[in-house]
Amino acid sequence: MDAATAWIVAAASLLAALIGPGAAGHAMLTKREPQVAASWMAVCLLFPVAGPLFYYLFGINRVRTRARKLVEQERIPPSPGPSAETHSPSIGPEYAEQIRISDAVTGRPLEYGNRIQVLHNGEQAFPTMLEAIDRAQETVYLSTYIFESNSSGRQFVRALTAAYRRGVDVRVLIDGIGELYSWPRVSKLLQRNGVPVARFLPPRLIPPQVSINLRNHRKILVVDGQTSFTGGMNLGDRHLMQTDREHRVADVHFLIDGPVAAQMEEVFLEDWAFTTGEPQSHSSRGRPHADGALCRILTDGPNEDLDRLVMTLIGALSAARDEVWMVTPYFLPMRSLMTAMEAAALRGVRVNVLLPEENNLRFVHWATRHMLGELIHWGVDIYYQPPPFAHTKLFVVDRRYAQVGSANLDPRSLRLNFELNAEIYDPSIAREMAADCERIRARSRPVTAEELAERAPAERLRDAAFWLASPYL
C-alpha cells in the first residue's frame, strides 16, 4: 500500500469513527422520545457509515425551522383559549373537559353551524366532490397524498381544468412521494392544462431534497371557502368498491359545509406558501347554518412543538364514560396513548379497536400483533375486519364526540406526517358514526389472547422484530 492510499484509508477510518458518534449525539439531542433516540443511536453506532447515512435520509427533520415561520399564528396561547362557556351556553357540561383541552392545544376557535355528510367509498365521495368543483365560483383548493392518473383521477383533472378555465382560483397540492403511486404523474397532466399545481417536498438530486420521510398526508378540498371535504380517502380508482379491482380500498370521507371550511382553507394556504414560497393568502369566512354542528380543525406535523392530535385523543379517552370506537388501518400507538386506552378500559369504558385483517403494509400488521396482547390483557377489545382492505379512520367517544380526518394511529402519522383531523361535537353525527362502527364490528372477528399466544416461535420473533423497528415504520 503506497502512502497516498494509506492516507486515504486513514482519513476514511477517522471520518467513519467521527460521523457515527456525531449522528448518535444529534439523535440524542433532538428526538422527543427516548425509545426513538435510542434506536437511532444504536443504528448510527453499530453501522458507522450506513447508519448515519440512513439517519440523514430518514431521521432528521429539516422542515421544522422553515415551517415555523408559516405557523406563528398557531402557537399555543399563554393562557387557555376560549372556553366552552365563551362559545355558547347551549354546550352541555359533558363537552367542557374536551373543549378546554382542545382550546389550549390548538389555539383555534370552535365554529358553529357546520352541516356534515358522511360519504362512503369513492362511489359516494367522488361525485359529490366533483359536483362541488363544478359549482365553484371563486376558489378551489385541493391537497392530497395520492392523486392517481387513472379514470377517477382524470375526472378530477378535467373538473379542475374546467374550473380554472372559467376563472376560478384553482390550486392543487400533491405530496411529492404520494404522486409517484401512478404514472403518468397527475402534476404533469395538470401543468399541461395550465392548472397551478405544487409538489410537497418532492425527492430530487439537483438541488438535493432528502426530506423524503416527512410527507404531507392531509386530504383537503375547499370550495369557495364554504364547502370542504376531508377524511382518509385519496383520489383514484382504488376507492371504488363496486368494481372487480383486486386491490380495492374501503374508506369514508366527509363533506363539511360551514365556517370551519375557513380553517381548512387556512391550513391549505399555509402548506401552499411553504411549498411554493409565495406569500400566504388570507382565507375566507364561511356562512354558518342554523342547524349545523360544532367543529374545529386539528393539525399535527413535524413542524409543530406539541403532539396536538395525541393530546386531544388522550383527553377524549380520559373523558370517556361509556364507549370508545377507534378505527384505523395502521395501529402502532405510542406508549402514552396505549396507557390512556388501558386506563379507560379499566374504568369500565368499552374501548373497541377495529383493524383490517389483511393490511397492505404487512410489516405494520406484524408489528401491531406484537403489542395487541397487552391491550387485550387490560380489557381493550380488538377486532379484525374482513377484506377488502379498510383504510377508514374514525374516533368516536360516548356517541357525542368524534374526530375524522387523515391521521392513522402509528408513528408515521403522529410523528412524521403532516396530518389534519376535524373535531365534531355533535351527538347526531357521532351516533351515525358509532352505528357504522357497530356494523363493522358485526362482520368482524375478535382477536383473542389465545390466538396471539398460539403464534409459532418464528412468527412471534418476526412480529417482535418489526415492532422494535416501529419508529422507522
Q: What is the pLDDT of residues 225-235, one digit of tens each?
A: 999 999 999 99
Q: What amino acid is encoded at 443 in this protein? A: R
What pLDDT is stored for residue 238 in this prediction? Answer: 95
Of 23-27, 117-121, 144-148, 461-465, the range with the lowest mean pLDDT is 23-27
Q: What's the whole-number mean pLDDT along residues 198-205?
A: 88
Predicted pLDDT of residue 209: 66
Could you tell me the pLDDT band of residue 77, with boundaries at 50, 70 and 90?
Answer: very low
Residue 78 is predicted with a pLDDT of 40
pLDDT at 62: 55
Return the exposure string of 344-370: e unless at least 16 CB atoms fall within 10 Å of the residue's CB, then b: bbeeebebbbbbbeebeeebbbbbbbb
| CA–CA dist 19, 45 (Å, integer) | 9
Q: What is the mean pLDDT of the chain?
A: 88
Closest CA to 410 of 329, 318, 354: 329
Question: What is the reported pLDDT for 79?
Answer: 39
pLDDT band at 75 (very low <50, low <70, confident <90, very high): very low
Residue 108: is its pLDDT beyond 80? Answer: yes
- How many angstroms separate the CA atoms of 298 and 263, rounded? 9
237/151 Cα distance (integer angstroms): 7
The helix (H) or strand (E) run that includes residue 385 is strand 381-385
DSSP state of 280: P
What fold is seen in the domain 104-295? Endonuclease; Chain A (3.30.870)
Q: pLDDT-based confidence at 59, cuts 50/70/90?
A: confident
Question: Average pLDDT, stretch 307-320?
Answer: 93
Side chain identity at residue 423, one-letter code: E
Distance of CA 339 to the CA centre of its chain: 21
pLDDT in tens, 421-432: 999 999 999 999
Rounded distance, CA 93 to CA 82, Å? 15
In this prediction, residues 328-332 reach a mean pLDDT of 97
Please, what's the b/e burial string for 256-271 (b: 16 or more CB within 10 A of its CB; e: otherwise)? bbbbbbbbbbbbbbbb
Peptide bond into 184 cis (omega under 30): yes
Closest among 265, 315, 295, 313 to 110, alpha carbons compared: 295
Spatial distance between the Cα atoms of 87 and 310, rounded to a whole number of angstroms: 24
Residue-wise pLDDT for 444-457, tens only, equals: 999 999 999 999 99
What DSSP letter does each residue of 45-107 carry, written as one string? HHSTTHHHHHHHHHT---SHHHHHTT-GGGSPPSS----HHHH-TTS-GGGHHHHHHHHHHH-
pLDDT in tens, 284-303: 788 999 989 999 999 998 86
For 269, phi then psi, to 5°, come to -65, -35
Alpha carbon distance, N-terminus to C-terminus of the chain: 43
- The pLDDT of residue 416 is above 90: no
> What value does the mean pLDDT take over residues 143-164?
97
CA 462, 463, 469, 473 dihedral sign is positive
Domain residue ranges in the chain: 3-60, 104-295, 308-472
- Grid cell, residue 130, equals 366533483
CA gap 320, 396 in Å, rounded: 10
Which three three-digit cell numbers place residue 471? 419508529
Q: What's the pLDDT band for 74 if we cut at 50, 70, 90?
A: very low
Note the pLDDT tens digit of each residue in 332-370. Answer: 999 999 999 999 999 999 999 999 999 999 999 999 999
Pick the closest to residue 338 from 384, 303, 397, 379 (CA basis): 379
Rounded mean pLDDT, 49-60: 76
Which among 308, 256, 283 has a CA at the least distance from the CA of 420?
308
308-472: what fold?
Endonuclease; Chain A (3.30.870)
Cα separation, 176 vs 103, in Å, equals 32
- Percentage of the chain lying above the pLDDT 90 cut: 67
What pLDDT, on the 0 to 100 scale, is given for residue 398? 97
Instruction: Collect all residues with Cβ–Cβ distance below 8 Å to 450 and sequence separation of at least 6.
Output: none
Provide the 10 A C-beta neighbour count for residue 213.
19
Q: Do the domains spanning 104-295 and 308-472 agree at the CATH topology level?
A: yes
- Highest-confidence segment of 202-206, 290-294, 434-438: 434-438
What would the mean pLDDT of 434-463 be, rounded to a whole number? 97
Lowest mean pLDDT: which of 6-20, 26-40, 100-114, 267-281? 6-20
